[in-house]
Amino acid sequence: MRHGKKFNHLSRKKGHRVALMKNMSNALVKHKRINTTLAKAKALRVFLEPLITKAKKNTTHSRRTVFGYLQDKSSIEELFGPIAEKVAARPGGYLRIIKTGFRKGDAAETALIEFVDYNDVYSNEGKQGSSGRRRRRRGGGNKNAAAVKGKNEEE
């Protein structure tokens, strides 16, 4: 039974799991994207997104709180500096997980986890001529084709 199992334990004891999340968080902050298994990426997102939210408010208390989790001064400087500036206007959802297939050795499902604001491929900043809003086609389509179709059915 899974009474009280609120998160994925990743088949590790608490100390190992905390060390894993700390190391993966530091690597993600340093490199902006990492490849890992899908389960670890989902667990990392749950672990790191609240810390990024705390980093948006640059106070001594929030710095000490985040340092308690990451324990790496260079990661803290990066998180409270450039990363916090880029995500300042974003209300959440700082990380993106992209499935990348299955690992050859053990067929584990792999994924790429990255900061949303650091990928130029998906951002609108790289596109030229973009008005900033998305255009979607509604069901209306071509009205002339519908009129011709109606005339053909009458004949």
Interatomic CA distance for residues 66 and 93, integer angstroms: 18
Among 105-114, 115-124, 126-135, the range with the most confident prediction by mean pLDDT is: 105-114
Confidence of residue 67 (pLDDT cuts 50, 70, 90): very high
Give mean pLDDT, residues 12-18.
Answer: 97
Calculate the CA dihedral of residues 79, 82, 85, 89 and round it to 10 degrees.
-70
- Report pLDDT for 58: 94
Q: Which helix (H) or strand (E) holds 78?
A: helix 73-78
**Structural domain contains residue 141:** no
Domain with 51 in it: what CATH number?
3.90.1030.10
In a domain, 138, yes or no: no
pLDDT-derived band at 109 (thresholds 50, 70, 90) equals: very high
Inter-residue contact 79 to 115 (CB < 8 Å): no
Per cent of the chain over pLDDT 70 is: 83
pLDDT at 133 over 60: yes
8 A C-beta contact, residue 37 and residue 44: no
- State the pLDDT at residue 130: 53
| More reliable by pLDDT, 32 or 132 | 32
Place of tokens 């209306």: 140
Helix/strand/coil for 123: coil
Domain hosting residue 97, numbered range: 14-124
Q: Centre a 10 Å sphere on the Cβ of residue 118 and count the other Cβ atoms it contains.
A: 17
Number of domains, the chain: 1
